[in-house]
């Protein structure tokens, strides 16, 4: 598993050629992705048994796998309040590899006030990584956000150096526009540099007022946006601070994209806004909301990774009304099932089926939960036909087929309220290998064994398509 010949460097070399990959190149990418997923699954399974052994093997793993495992190990240590262990693991992240800013930020938030020196150490590690590899990531947990949160916990000179480093890195980019997305606002900037000035100038003004004025003169867009949002990103999301979220508090979840918003992105934002509006409507008039949901598109987005806003609208109605008006919630869930009956790329609709089953179970409506489960399994049957298509078969390991993942997640959900129904439905599956795999998983589940990591992969030669997904077991 560790010795499979393809390397990530080879993948990077091929990708850097900027040409449409031929079939041989596609096969290299597929083999590398298989190696990556096998390594990740094996090391994750070993992690629950012997973390020290995993740590000793990380140097042999692909860089992406090593980064993912280290990130998860930091998260585990932090969740267990083993702060020294988490800090030790962060020190093992190679400077030229993707730094786990999210986990590092959470660790800094959790560290008690008397451990400011450790916060400074983490800040320096993140800064060194950002210096080696400027990651143009627009989020509430990147290095720039770390500066906004923790600048008062590091020496002023270090904070100033960090601000200039981020601004210099942004200035060196190709000038693509940036769109900042938040539930309450959407802001556009001509370049990443303009966005970073908007983000960091309120901090810079606290440290060096003259320098802040000088930098602001070079960014007219930042001037305009800071008039409306004088504290930068903290005006949009006040929870971006140096303390953990309070109970019941929720951040805005800032995110961003490069370039002007694409037409499809605008469609997605519009439909999401419509779904939220229908959810509010359901509070006072659920029947009107159900009628309105029928006007929302069944699917939007790319053909290979769509979203299903009509189903989401019905789920939102059901979630809003399930306690006060269970009859309306039931109708909404049945409409959700009808809207997904002919969904293309039905693997990506699995989340909707699972959410519907969970809500029906919480409502105490077992008959509805079973009905949704059986309908979801019918969709998984269609997926299996696509995976096994003799003219364009999925060449990935059968245990990784999207249909197998959909089957198992649905069966696992059904086993929580009716193990017999789950088993009976599994036994109707025509493929004996998938049948055996699911029976073994059900048996393990019944015995209380830890769930397995879930890998989903598609690799089809004739359609030149390949994608994969990794999912950790539910804790």
Beta strands at 185-189 and 306-307: parallel, antiparallel or unpaired: unpaired
- pLDDT at residue 463, as a whole number: 59
- pLDDT at residue 447, as a whole number: 83
Q: Above 70 in pLDDT, residue 14?
A: no
250 Cβ contact partners less than 8 Å away, ≥ 6 residues apart: 239
Q: Above 90 in pLDDT, residue 305?
A: no
pLDDT band at 9 (very low <50, low <70, confident <90, very high): low
Q: Token pair for residue 27?
A: 């096969």
Q: What is the DSSP string of 361-397?
A: HHTT-HHHHHHHHHHHHHHHHHHHHHHT-TTS---S-
- Could you read off the pLDDT of 362-389 as tens digits, one per residue? 999 999 999 999 999 999 999 999 999 9
Half-sphere exposure of 403 (CA within 13 A, CB side): 26
pLDDT band at 303 (very low <50, low <70, confident <90, very high): low
Beta strands at 178-182 and 465-471: parallel, antiparallel or unpaired: unpaired
Q: Above 50 in pLDDT, residue 20?
A: yes
Tell me how many degrees the CA angle 143-146-151 measures, rounded to the nearest 5. 125
Top-confidence residue, 271 or 423: 423
pLDDT band at 465 (very low <50, low <70, confident <90, very high): low
What is the overall mean pLDDT for the chain? 86
Tokens 């699954």 identify what position? 41
Q: Highest-confidence range of 58-67, 242-251, 261-270, by mean pLDDT?
A: 58-67
CA dist 85 and 108 (Å) reads 13
- pLDDT at residue 343, as a whole number: 78
Q: What is the CA radius of gyration of the chain?
A: 25
Give domain limits for the chain.
1-133, 136-244+254-261, 262-471
Q: Highest-confidence range of 142-146, 201-205, 243-247, 263-267, by mean pLDDT?
A: 201-205
- pLDDT at residue 475, as a whole number: 46
- pLDDT at residue 182, as a whole number: 72
The pTM (predicted TM-score) of the whole model is 0.69
Q: Above 50 in pLDDT, residue 341?
A: yes
- pLDDT at residue 105, as a whole number: 93
- Give the Å distances, CA to CA, from 269 to 36, 260, 263, 303: 33, 14, 10, 17
pLDDT (average), residues 34-46:
87
Residues in the chain: 475
Q: Token pair for residue 436?
A: 């055996």
């Amino acid at each position: 598993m560790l010795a499979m010949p393809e390397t990530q460097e080879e993948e990077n070399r091929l990708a850097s050629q900027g040409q449409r990959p031929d079939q041989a190149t596609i096969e290299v990418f597929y083999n590398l992705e298989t190696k990556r997923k096998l390594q990740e699954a094996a090391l994750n399974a070993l992690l629950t048994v012997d973390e020290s052994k995993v740590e000793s093997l990380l140097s042999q793993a692909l860089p992406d796998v090593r980064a993912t495992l280290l990130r998860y190990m930091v998260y585990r240590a932090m969740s267990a309040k083993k702060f020294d262990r988490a800090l030790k693991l962060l020190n093992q992240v190679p400077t030229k590899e993707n730094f786990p800013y999210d986990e590092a930020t959470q660790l800094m938030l959790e560290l008690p006030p008397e451990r400011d020196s450790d916060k400074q150490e983490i800040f320096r590690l993140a800064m060194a990584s950002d210096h080696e590899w400027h990651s143009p990531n627009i989020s509430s947990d990147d290095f720039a956000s770390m500066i906004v949160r923790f600048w008062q916990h590091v020496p002023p000179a270090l904070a100033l150096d960090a601000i200039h480093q981020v601004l210099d890195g942004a200035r060196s980019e190709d000038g693509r526009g940036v769109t900042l997305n938040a539930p309450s606002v959407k802001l556009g900037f001509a370049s990443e540099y303009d966005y970073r000035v908007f983000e960091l100038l309120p901090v810079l003004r606290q440290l060096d007022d003259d320098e802040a004025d000088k930098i602001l003169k070079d960014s007219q867009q930042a001037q305009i946006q800071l008039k409306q949002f004088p504290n930068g990103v903290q005006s949009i999301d006040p929870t971006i601070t140096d303390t953990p979220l309070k109970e019941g508090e929720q951040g805005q979840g800032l995110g961003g994209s490069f370039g002007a918003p694409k037409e499809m992105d605008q469609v997605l934002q519009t439909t999401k806004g419509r779904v939220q509006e229908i959810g509010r409507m359901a509070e006072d008039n659920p029947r009107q909301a159900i009628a309105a949901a029928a006007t929302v598109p069944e699917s939007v987005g790319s053909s290979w990774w769509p979203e299903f806003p009509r189903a989401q609208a019905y789920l939102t109605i059901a979630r809003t009304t399930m306690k006060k008006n269970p009859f309306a919630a039931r109708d909404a869930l049945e409409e959700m099932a009808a809207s997904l009956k002919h969904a293309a790329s039905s693997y990506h609709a699995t989340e909707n089926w699972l959410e519907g089953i969970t809500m029906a179970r919480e409502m105490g409506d077992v008959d509805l939960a079973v009905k949704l489960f059986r309908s979801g399994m019918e969709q998984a049957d269609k997926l299996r036909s696509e995976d096994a298509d003799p003219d364009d078969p999925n060449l990935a390991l059968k245990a990784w087929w999207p249909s197998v993942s959909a089957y198992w997640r649905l069966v696992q959900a059904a086993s929580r309220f009716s193990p017999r129904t789950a088993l009976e439905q599994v036994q109707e599956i025509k493929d004996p290998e998938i049948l055996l795999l699911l029976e073994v998983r059900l048996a393990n589940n019944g015995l209380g064994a830890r769930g397995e990591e879930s890998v989903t992969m598609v690799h089809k030669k004739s359609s030149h398509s390949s994608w994969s997904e990794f999912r950790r077991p539910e804790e």
